[in-house]
Chains A and B, each alone.
Chain A
Amino acid sequence: MTRFHLEVRVKPRPGLLDPQGKATHHALTSLGHEGVAAVRIGKVMDLEIDAPDAETAVERTEEMCRKLLANPVTEDFSVSLLGEVEREEAEA
């Protein structure tokens, strides 16, 4: 069993109004940052998963996204494998 480090990104679906992104966009523009065409705000989640191999770790994380971590009506998700967690780090 290896401990894998995964990152889940959850973003509002394209076309869906993102009031937080819109407000932040306005704030950036009013601070004088020119050329900001769009801002969308989502979430990043960091997971450590014990699994026999990387493929299983990714599959299980995707299943978690479908069931809980993202709302399929309003959000899209992506899962990235960042690597293995070192033993000392895992026990710290």
Chain B
Amino acid sequence: MKVAVVTFPGSNCDQDCVRALELAGGFEPVYRWHQETSLGDVAAVFLPGGFSYGDYLRSGAIARFSPIMEAVREFAREGGPVAGICNGFQVLCESGLLPGALLRNQSLKFRHFDVHIRVETTDTPFTSGYRKGEVLRIPIAHADGNYTADPQTLAELEGTDRIVFRYATPEGKLADRANPNGSAHHIAGIVNEGRNVLGMMPHPERAVEPLLGSVDGAGLFHSLRAHLGGAPLSSSPSPALP
């Protein structure tokens, strides 16, 4: 089945996304350039990481007006699964497909290292293959990942099980020292009301083969394949490193 990976000028994780989809198996990833107006016949869409339009004005602010985003909005409205990773998350927030915004990291530094995130809900097309409470080791690489929203929105996200991942210690405990950017409620990823649009700052596509140091991100792609009716998983979605 075809899955679109959108390339904006300045995207730099589009190839990683395609590679992760190929490794997961059962997907036929296709690139979609930001100036295209149609996604074509695809089953899911990824907005990859990077620095679309140089992060000018605000991260994701200009990419959201790309011609392809109108098609992405329509696809999401019809319930199609959309995942925005890192810069993709910023684009989804700017476009209003997800609530809130991503501010400069509290440290003011570009932070790039492995973090631990806890799976908070398996009720999404992207996390159904994980266990609730499972801790994943996945890299981050961002300067603007400090999730914020008004108190009412945060309460709504909490109350409707829409926080998908939280930064945590390797043991799965919430702690300020485990929060790499100062995000409210330790939020690393959320879904929209329809549960089909996911935004997350960590990079699951960079944790899909032992060579990369972790395979904990592979479960996201396996979950999506299972959701779309692909072949059932033959092994655990998060196999241990050799």
Contact = CB atoms under 8 A, between A and B. Distances in A.
A31 interface: no
A71 interface: yes
B94 interface: yes
Nearest to A74: B101
B43 interface: no
Interface in B66-107: 93-94, 99-101, 103-107
A71 B61 contact: yes
B148 A16 contact: yes
A44 to B, nearest CB: 13
Contacts of B107: 19
Interface in B98-133: 99-101, 103-108
Contact of A19 (B61, B100, B108, B150): B108
A68 B58 CA distance: 9
Contacts of A68: 57, 61-62, 65
A16 B146 CA distance: 12
Nearest to A45: B57
Interface residues of A, number: 10
Identify the interface centre among B57, B65, B146, B149: most chain A CB within 10 Å of its CB: B57
A17 interface: yes
A73 B100 contact: yes
A69 B104 contact: no
A20 interface: yes
A17 B103 contact: yes
Interface string B198-226: 00000000000000000000000000000
A19 B103 contact: yes
A28 B107 CA distance: 18
Nearest to B62: A68
Interface of B: 57-58, 61-62, 65, 93-94, 99-101, 103-108, 146, 148-150, 182
Given A17-B182, A19-B103, A68-B65, 15 more contacts: A16-B148, A17-B148, A19-B104, A19-B106, A19-B108, A19-B182, A20-B104, A68-B62, A69-B57, A71-B94, A73-B99, A73-B100, A73-B101, A74-B103, A74-B148
User: Which 10 A-B residue pairs are closest in the complex by CB-CB distance?
Assistant: A73-B101, A74-B101, A19-B108, A19-B104, A19-B106, A23-B108, A71-B101, A71-B58, A73-B100, A74-B103
